[in-house]
Structure 1
Amino acid sequence: MNIRAKVMLVFAALAGLLLPGRLAAQAPDLILHNGKVLTVDSNFSIAQAVAITGNKISAVGTDQEVLATAGPDTEKIDLKGRTVTPGLVDTHRHMYSYSEGAYGGNFTPEELRRFPVDWRAVRTKDDVLNQVRGVMERYKFQPGEWIYLVNAVSFMSNDASPLALATILYDELNQWELDKVTPDNPVLMSLGIPDFNGFLLNKKAMDWVMANHGDFVLKNGRFWVDAAGRPDGHLEPPASRIVLPYTYDRKPEILGQIYQKDMAEASTMGLTSVSSRMPKDALAAYRMLESQGKLTYRIGYGVIEAFGNVDLSKSNLKSIASQVGQGTEKIWMTGTGPTAIDGASSRQCTDQKRSGTYTPIDGWFPSGQCHTDIEYRGAVRRAAPIQANYFADWIMASGRDGVRFANTHTAGDRANANMITFMEKLQAQYGKDSTKNWALDHCGMVNPKDFPRMAKVGVTVSCYVQLSVNGAANMARAYGEEVANTFPSPLGSMLKAGVKVVLESDSNSFLWEDIEKAVTRKDASGRVWGPQEKVDRPTALRMITRWAGDYFLKGDQIGSVEKGKFADLVVLDKDYMTVPEEDIGSIRPQLTIFDGKAVFVHPSFSAEYDLKPAGALITTYEDLVKTRKPRSGATTGG
């Protein structure tokens, strides 16, 4: 190297040393101080101030320590003693389907590719067929075009003779009846249960399924048969997954507008990370919003297309395994969300004997849906015999190939027990890491005898405690007081047994109400169910922040207020640690910061601080709810 080159290298090195960033750390963009910062770190430390630089937390500590890092352009907000928490992390929330249900009324059935059948006035089979005929005449479909009919019907209340409606949908309607009014198009009709879990097909659609996938369906099911033993058009997973792609082909530009409205509601409650299984069209819409800078929560998604549409005898799941944990800072794959392992309410897969009425359609699913049992217990009068259990084969293949199992409805005690048995088999055959980070969602019914097994295999359990507590009275009528006080979302007992537990909503609920239920276990009437299952406030907050971050596979980046983590924070109007426990659900965030930027400011907080950040929403949760315009025929859940 000549002298000139050496001199140039010296000058380059000196220039690097003299850059402002080398002389001092970059000054924060924002400092929140004079607050009560519940960091939810490993010690549940309480700080006074937090600094944000870019999209990361750059300092946490006392006012003196954090304010000392400020620069001339650092914005400072005196919280006047207000409480700060990490952004909430919901481990199971069907945000795409709930937003379509709540706001889809702003768009036409053609735009949403959802054509509703309203069962509120239905009294006979012909009432349904006349509505379907009207849909076909109104929308002028092209011959051969796939059509998805969604049912506006609830079988879970007594408002509209649900047993009579179930008789029409499950018994009287079949592929041949539906074909009478839809002869030129393959048609799917939802079964009034979550979209992923069942369809009624007309003859044209059923003929296509059997012509292209008949061997798979006859081997793996699940389908219902008529008195003559013929497939009658009612499909459940994995067979129903074959036609699923024809229901999720909407435009991201349409879906994105709907999803933004749900994200606005999420921001008003301090929700900054959401986990859900995700169909391709919904994922495309969220990725579009991310590219436009409009995404206001992080998404951990479970891919659904790997179940039912994959012939395990011809391929493996290793390509899916390689994608787990991969993505961007705002959207990444958390695993697979295949389908519901069982049903809900009277469709839960349970070993408990039902002695009373749970739902008006108990008779249709006397023992629940046990998809992981080859002797399928759901719809026992109508289920076709099958040669193999795709559910069991798929679960074992997932562990073998290193695919993470999560984002999946597993509600009943037998469903949970069966999954633990699969995990035990996989760990014995392939090692403990074969089921690393596996999770079971909902814990609607968990048998206490299974707690030690759950702890031993290391499974994480995600619990919809609000739904469990509010539904405990129904469970008591069906299964007795002992079951109702010990099986639904048994948070405290599972934690004592060493089980990893997190909180979920499985709804579009206001999340502080879910947290309240975890602490109080009180239903709407004020009755406490399972008092031994209460958790204290720090634990409840950990379950929906720090521990939930681990469910997302991003515990090192989200879920607590610590230096280096993403700046996802919430400023509250009440002190979470001291507000009366029955008022936790009334907490209202005043400021939500996502990825370092304010995405929501409560009007009163905005007025007090004259704070109107660019792009931030200034409204209230209550005002947003008033703007909902539901889509007719919305179905959600699972």
Structure 2
Amino acid sequence: MKSFTKFGFMMVVLALLSPGWLAAQAPDLILHNGKVLTVDSNFSVVQAVAVTANKISAVGTDAAVLATAGPSTQKIDLKGRTVIPGIIDTHRHMYGAAEGGYGGNLTDDDMRRYAVDWSGVKSKEDVLAQVKGLMTKWNFPPGKWIYFNNRISFTGNGDENSPGFAKILYDEMNQWELDKVTPNNPVLMSLGIPDFQGFLANKKAMDWVMANHGDFMKANGRFWVDNQGRPDGHLEPPASRLVIPFTYDRKAEILAPLYEKNMQEHLSMGMTAISTRLPKDSLGAYQLLEKQGKLTWRIGYGDIETFGNTDLDVQNLKAAAAKVGQGSDRLWMTGMGPTAIDGVSSRACTDLKRVGTYTPIDSWFPQGQCDTDGEYRGSPKRASAITKNYYKDWVYASARDGLRFANTHVAGDRSVGNMLNFVEQLQQQYSPAATKDWGLDHCDMVNPKDFPRIGKTQIFMSCYVLRSVENSVNIARAYGNQVANTYPSPLNSMLKAGGRVVLESDSGSYIWEDFRAAVTRKDRQGRVWAPQERVDAATALKMFTAWAADYVLKGDKIGSIEKGKLADLVVLDRDYLTIPGEEIDQIQPQVTVFDGKIVYVHSNFAAENNLRPAGAVISSYQELIKRRTPRAGVSTGG
């Protein structure tokens, strides 16, 4: 009898764990009387969807889905509202946005970024005096690496002071000048551009670089030299990548609360997954949130620090390749790459000739930061000679060893062309599988002659269409109207060529603005750019859901509303498919379901339906962003 009881118990357990039992289990949640855009292969539209545990258990008519309900099933009448899969942004700067939005109450020491205020700067001496004051204020122990964050930016139009600031920082400052006020510490200083694209290093930092990576620097370096041919301390990638790990040493306990608030903002937009790149300290903060049960979205991330710190002559990348796809369904690695292979705006690598001013630093980067070129053409007459190209070597080693190239900024038309050249050669040398699911992010400038190659190679093109449309007026000024109406984020042309095109925001935009830009090609002033590149609303939705899921390597689990997939759902306040394109950016998600749980409810919907789920944020995007405590001068690096 005793053995029979054990046997019977085991049979019951096996029955409970069987797929058949799971299928028969009553749903926890049913959304009905709605317009459910499944974004499956047929773009089916149904009335209802059921969620059991963390998965979608049924989709179909109201009658069919409601028939699966049990006595404890929560049923929400949508009253005709639209439901879409959770939005997946294939490139969004997360940790920088969180730190910039919510880091205002933290000290420079908390953030390991010591701010230099340029608002009153008139000379090099003003900058050095501030640095000297900070050295005294914080009393750094000798030998400690220090990162000074200049609160200036040269990525946009700048103001009347920008050219003078650039001259001070790029022409007058150097390793020896900086060393005068920082003699006992290795020091890095930002250059008014994202930190992964350059630093100014003092003598002690340069001594460390040359002592530990001298051969690498001589062959691959990309650094500026003075009139005697000596490294002057200005570092571009990959030289600058040798020191970037010293700038990411913040504590997870400090960063995690900032990231959680930023995550809640994104849930209010309907975003349930993003692709980004993470340094080790930011990854640690998200891992802490996951451990605490507070990570309520999915992050596919690219590794930042391996690139530039791996000797490709003596090591292979197979160990790195084995990490891709590893992790949980909430936090996993999607690739490993250079972070960026060029700059943005005037630093985007281009074959075009400027006919007008683009940014205040045009003259320092006449063709952009062309990291994949075999010749280093940095600041005129100050670029070090190189004999090797670490970027090209990395790309070729990645294909050889099966490492996915993704999460990488590829902005300029020359950079896109160079990468397509590499991919074509690698597919011929190995096979198309060698570059399977590789992706180039941004589509800032794409030469029309490359459209057929994008279709043939089948690499992903991840496009920040809103940013492209907003920047088109500057592109027109710099390169002419024809370029501005053909090169930036050419979505429709690449799709017609058979390309795999997905959408990203890149910046901290309200994501529905990005949808609107894809459908209308209008900037915020109402100007239309490249109208031939518009896509319809259904296609834009695919690019932000089902196709984006493939980019983040989770196409079998997220991106569409289908039975068996993870339950990431968004209820909208209006009919996405029928409202005018100009009104898409006014959409306000009412409910966000993540992993089967309601994690966000708009305050209006909560009141209307008496819906206040435990643990969910009850608010609105407009209210959530009022909580921000901004911190100036944070890099947009991630």
Question: TM-score per shorter chain, which class?
Answer: over 0.9
1:20 and 1:100 map into 2 onto residues whose CA distance is: 43
How far 1:374 sits from its partner (Å)?
A: 1.9
In the other structure, the counterpart of 2:323 is 323
Q: Does the Cα contact within 8 Å between 2:376 and 2:384 map onto a contact in 1?
A: no
In the other structure, the counterpart of 2:468 is 468
Q: Which moved more, 1:131-140 or 1:404-413?
A: 131-140
In the other structure, the counterpart of 2:125 is 126
Q: Secondary structure at the match of 1:626?
A: helix
How far 1:11 sits from its partner (Å)?
A: 4.5
In the other structure, the counterpart of 1:450 is 450
How far 1:471 sits from its partner (Å)?
A: 0.7
User: AA paired with 2:133?
Assistant: G
How far 1:369 sits from its partner (Å)?
A: 1.3
In the other structure, the counterpart of 2:413 is 413
In the other structure, the counterpart of 1:83 is 82
User: AA paired with 1:211?
Assistant: A
- Residues 28-73 of structure 1: CA deviation (Å, up to 9, x unaligned): 1100000111111111111111111111111111101110110110
2:576 and 2:409 map into 1 onto residues whose CA distance is: 30
In the other structure, the counterpart of 1:390 is 390
Q: Does the Cα contact within 8 Å between 1:103 and 1:629 map onto a contact in 2?
A: yes
In the other structure, the counterpart of 1:69 is 68
In the other structure, the counterpart of 1:252 is 252
1:338-377 aligned at under 5 Å gives the runs: 338-377=338-377
Q: Does the Cα contact within 8 Å between 2:166 and 2:360 map onto a contact in 1?
A: no
1:271-350 aligned at under 5 Å gives the runs: 271-350=271-350
Distance 1:69 1:199, change over 3 A: same
Q: Secondary structure at the match of 2:367?
A: coil
1:600 and 1:160 map into 2 onto residues whose CA distance is: 44
1:282 and 1:483 map into 2 onto residues whose CA distance is: 38
How far 1:589 sits from its partner (Å)?
A: 0.5
1:100-139 aligned at under 5 Å gives the runs: 100-139=99-138
Q: Does the Cα contact within 8 Å between 1:120 and 1:160 map onto a contact in 2?
A: no
Q: Does the Cα contact within 8 Å between 1:277 and 1:407 map onto a contact in 2?
A: yes
How far 1:377 sits from its partner (Å)?
A: 2.6
TM-score, normalization by structure 1: 0.97
In the other structure, the counterpart of 1:237 is 237
How far 1:74 sits from its partner (Å)?
A: 0.3
In the other structure, the counterpart of 2:521 is 521
- Residues 63-112 of structure 1: CA deviation (Å, up to 9, x unaligned): 01110110110000001001111110000001111111111112111111
Q: Secondary structure at the match of 2:422?
A: helix
Q: Secondary structure at the match of 1:136?
A: helix
1:376 and 1:213 map into 2 onto residues whose CA distance is: 18
In the other structure, the counterpart of 1:553 is 553
1:92-171 aligned at under 5 Å gives the runs: 92-155=91-154, 156-171=156-171
How far 1:219 sits from its partner (Å)?
A: 1.1
User: AA paired with 2:238?
Assistant: P
In the other structure, the counterpart of 1:195 is 195
2:250 and 2:158 map into 1 onto residues whose CA distance is: 34
How far 1:159 sits from its partner (Å)?
A: 2.2
In the other structure, the counterpart of 2:429 is 429
1:18 and 1:410 map into 2 onto residues whose CA distance is: 52
In the other structure, the counterpart of 2:613 is 613
- Residues 239-290 of structure 1: CA deviation (Å, up to 9, x unaligned): 1111111111111000101101110110110110010111111111101101
- Residues 406-436 of structure 1: CA deviation (Å, up to 9, x unaligned): 0000001110000001011111111111101
Q: Secondary structure at the match of 2:50?
A: strand
How far 1:212 sits from its partner (Å)?
A: 1.2
2:578 and 2:11 map into 1 onto residues whose CA distance is: 54
Q: Secondary structure at the match of 1:119?
A: coil
1:160 and 1:253 map into 2 onto residues whose CA distance is: 40
Alignment partner of 1:182 is 2:173: no
Tell me the number of residue pairs that the alignment of Structure 1 and Structure 2 aligns: 635
Q: Does the Cα contact within 8 Å between 2:376 and 2:386 map onto a contact in 1?
A: no
1:14 and 1:447 map into 2 onto residues whose CA distance is: 63
- Residues 383-404 of structure 1: CA deviation (Å, up to 9, x unaligned): 1001111111111111111000
2:438 and 2:17 map into 1 onto residues whose CA distance is: 46
How far 1:8 sits from its partner (Å)?
A: 6.8
Distance 1:532 1:206, change over 3 A: same
2:242 and 2:181 map into 1 onto residues whose CA distance is: 23
How far 1:7 sits from its partner (Å)?
A: 6.2
Distance 1:93 1:337, change over 3 A: farther
User: AA paired with 1:288?
Assistant: L
Q: Secondary structure at the match of 1:77?
A: strand
User: AA paired with 2:530?
Assistant: G
Q: Secondary structure at the match of 2:275?
A: strand
How far 1:511 sits from its partner (Å)?
A: 0.5
In the other structure, the counterpart of 1:599 is 599
User: AA paired with 1:240?
Assistant: S
Distance 1:171 1:608, change over 3 A: same
Q: Does the Cα contact within 8 Å between 1:118 and 1:632 map onto a contact in 2?
A: no
User: AA paired with 1:85?
Assistant: I
- Residues 533-577 of structure 1: CA deviation (Å, up to 9, x unaligned): 000000000000110000001111111111111111111111101
- Residues 356-388 of structure 1: CA deviation (Å, up to 9, x unaligned): 111222111111111111212331321100111
User: AA paired with 2:385?
Assistant: P
Alignment partner of 1:31 is 2:30: yes
Q: Secondary structure at the match of 2:64?
A: helix
2:184 and 2:496 map into 1 onto residues whose CA distance is: 59
Distance 1:16 1:441, change over 3 A: closer
RMSD: 1.6
Distance 1:20 1:337, change over 3 A: closer
Distance 1:14 1:432, change over 3 A: closer
User: AA paired with 1:128?
Assistant: V
User: AA paired with 2:100?
Assistant: G
Q: Secondary structure at the match of 2:358?
A: coil
TM-score, normalization by structure 2: 0.97
1:535 and 1:112 map into 2 onto residues whose CA distance is: 42
In the other structure, the counterpart of 1:539 is 539
How far 1:349 sits from its partner (Å)?
A: 0.6
- Structure 1 unaligned regions, length at least 5: none
Identity of aligned residues (%): 65
User: AA paired with 2:454?
Assistant: M
Distance 1:140 1:43, change over 3 A: same
Q: Does the Cα contact within 8 Å between 1:507 and 1:637 map onto a contact in 2?
A: no
Q: Secondary structure at the match of 1:89?
A: strand
How far 1:19 sits from its partner (Å)?
A: 5.8
2:159 and 2:371 map into 1 onto residues whose CA distance is: 30
- Residues 293-336 of structure 1: CA deviation (Å, up to 9, x unaligned): 10121000111222100011121110011111111111111011
1:135 and 1:565 map into 2 onto residues whose CA distance is: 53
Distance 1:6 1:143, change over 3 A: closer
Q: Secondary structure at the match of 1:300?
A: strand
- Structure 2 unaligned regions, length at least 5: none
In the other structure, the counterpart of 2:54 is 55
